[in-house]
Amino acid sequence: MTVLSPAHPAPTPTGAQVRRGTPEYRRIGAALFLTGFSAFSLIYCAQPLLTAFTRDFHVTPAQSALSLSLTTGCLAVSILIMSAVADSFSRRRVMLTSLLAAALLNGLAALAPTWNLLLLCRALEGLALGGVPAVAMAYVAEEIHPRDLGVAMGQYVGGTAFGGMMGRVCIGLLAGVTSWHAALLVMGGLGLLSAAGFALLLPASRGFQPRPAAPAREHLRRWAAHLRTPGLGALFTLGFLNLGVMVAAFNYLGFRLHAPPYALSAAAISLIFLTYLLGSAASSWGGRMADRQGRLPLLRAGLLLSGAGLALTLLSPLPVIILGVTLITVGFFVTHSVASSSVGHLARRDKGHASALYLLAYYAGSSVVGVLGGLAWAAGGWPLLVALCAALLGLGLTITRQIPRR
């Protein structure tokens, strides 16, 4: 999944930056892949377990979704805070601390004896992980030579997409043969191993020196300026709606497929998340096509693809539902890749602050719409949930009119 960096890279002499093909470059690429994998597998590993949480803690589907919504909501707030203070600390230390704390909290969530304690651990996990997207790409921009930046960025983004998929698939398979407690413990252990690999591989910064953070009023001024910039507010709203629809659909699809007539196991349901592989490819395709065809047509195409996928999931045959989920995933990735890149395109200055606002809205959408989807599911089942998501996608299509054609 594409992730923007709100931190501000400091300019460095080109001669001091790492070039592709060197041992240091390979170490940075491997470390960043581990970073993306660990962070996003820990964020989304709760999603395949919602039916198990409902059963074991005797909570409603909407309440079980809080195990993901609280994580992404706290992540959104943490990214905004870290974007303002990250320049005062070592890039490497911020990322390592985030990864270690999140992995340990995931392990504690696995051992939580009560629902409230599990939710507390997941909320703290989101706060801890804010340090990763806040500085990861800033580190790349500061350390890697501009001509080799694209591949290095791709390794981090590839790690995030792979982590988001494997966090869903692996934990569902593990929970199917053991228990959700063991599955969360294993995921926390993988997070600790990834953090250890990161610490061994990532070189210390050469192009960054910690510096005092700007006053809070200065950050508020920059954020307010972006909200007044034509088109940026629409992109922030689009990020909110796009991820919100994706998370709501995936949260409650498991409940639908777990019940008769499908009666699928948690392991079987988790395999549906392999559609992320196509989604990741669609993200790159969407970026290339946006350069050729323009951003607005691709944004609208992504939203329409997701809408078509939602419509297919209303039908009964399981293969048709899986096709619908695939279209939802591809549509989501196309929309997100174009919207996130458009933020940097439209922001006139302080692009890091614009990225922070996009990520705030993006993850807030996961939290808010994820909960609203649970209420729709409880009130009217899958048809009402689809109606809610379709209405939000329709709102997104309307909002695209506010995005400048440039």
Higher-pLDDT residue of 357, 102: 102
Q: Which two tokens stand for residue 147?
A: 């001509």
Q: Could you tell me the pLDDT band of residue 14, with boundaries at 50, 70 and 90? A: very low
Neighbours of 45 (CB within 10 A): 35
CA dist., res. 174 & res. 267, Å (int): 7
User: What is the pLDDT, as a whole number, of residue 286?
Assistant: 67
Residue 319 CB-density burial (10 A; 0-12 exposed, 13-18 middle, 19+ buried): exposed
Q: What is the amino acid identity at position 171?
A: I
Mean pLDDT of 340-360: 78
CA dist., res. 177 & res. 171, Å (int): 10
User: What is the pLDDT, as a whole number, of residue 154?
Assistant: 57
The whole-angstrom distance between residue 258's C-alpha and the CA centroid of its chain comes to 25
Torsion sign over Cα 90, 91, 92, 98: positive
Higher-pLDDT residue of 322, 213: 322
Name which of 354, 73, 368 is nearest 235 in CA terms: 354
Mean pLDDT of 314-343: 90
pLDDT tens, position by position, 187-237: 999 999 999 999 999 887 777 677 777 787 887 888 888 888 888 999 999
User: What is the pLDDT, as a whole number, of residue 132?
Assistant: 87
pLDDT tens, position by position, 371-405: 999 999 999 999 999 999 999 999 999 999 988 86
Tell me, letter by letter, the H, E, C secondary structure of 184-244.
HHHHHHHHHHHHHHHHHHCCCCCCCCCCCCCCHHHHHHHHHHHHHCCCHHHHHHHHHHHHH
Q: Could you tell me the pLDDT band of residue 15, with boundaries at 50, 70 and 90? A: very low
Mean pLDDT of the chain: 86
pLDDT at 160 over 80: no
- Which of 23-32, 289-298, 305-314, 319-328 is predicted least confidently? 289-298
User: What is the pLDDT, as a whole number, of residue 164?
Assistant: 82
Neighbours of 160 (CB within 10 A): 26
Instruction: Please give the model's pTM, rounded to 2 decimal places.
Output: 0.85
User: What is the pLDDT, as a whole number, of residue 381?
Assistant: 95
pLDDT at 4 over 50: no
User: What is the pLDDT, as a whole number, of residue 291?
Assistant: 60
- Phi/psi for 89 (5° steps) reads -130, 160
CA dist., res. 318 & res. 271, Å (int): 13
pLDDT tens, position by position, 74-110: 999 998 888 778 777 788 888 999 999 999 999 999 9
DSSP output for 4-68? ---S-PPP--GGGSBPTTSHHHHHHHHHHHHHHHHHHHHHHTTGGGHHHHHHHHT--HHHHTHHH
Contact 267, 173 (CB under 8 A): yes
Contact 144, 156 (CB under 8 A): no
pLDDT at 9 over 70: no
Name which of 375, 358, 360 is nearest 74 in CA terms: 360
Name which of 289, 370, 388, 368 is nearest 333 in CA terms: 289
Q: Which two tokens stand for residue 233?
A: 């507010």
pLDDT at 163 over 70: yes
CA dist., res. 66 & res. 40, Å (int): 17
Mean pLDDT of 161-166: 82
Name which of 351, 387, 395 is nearest 234 in CA terms: 395
pLDDT at 17 over 70: yes
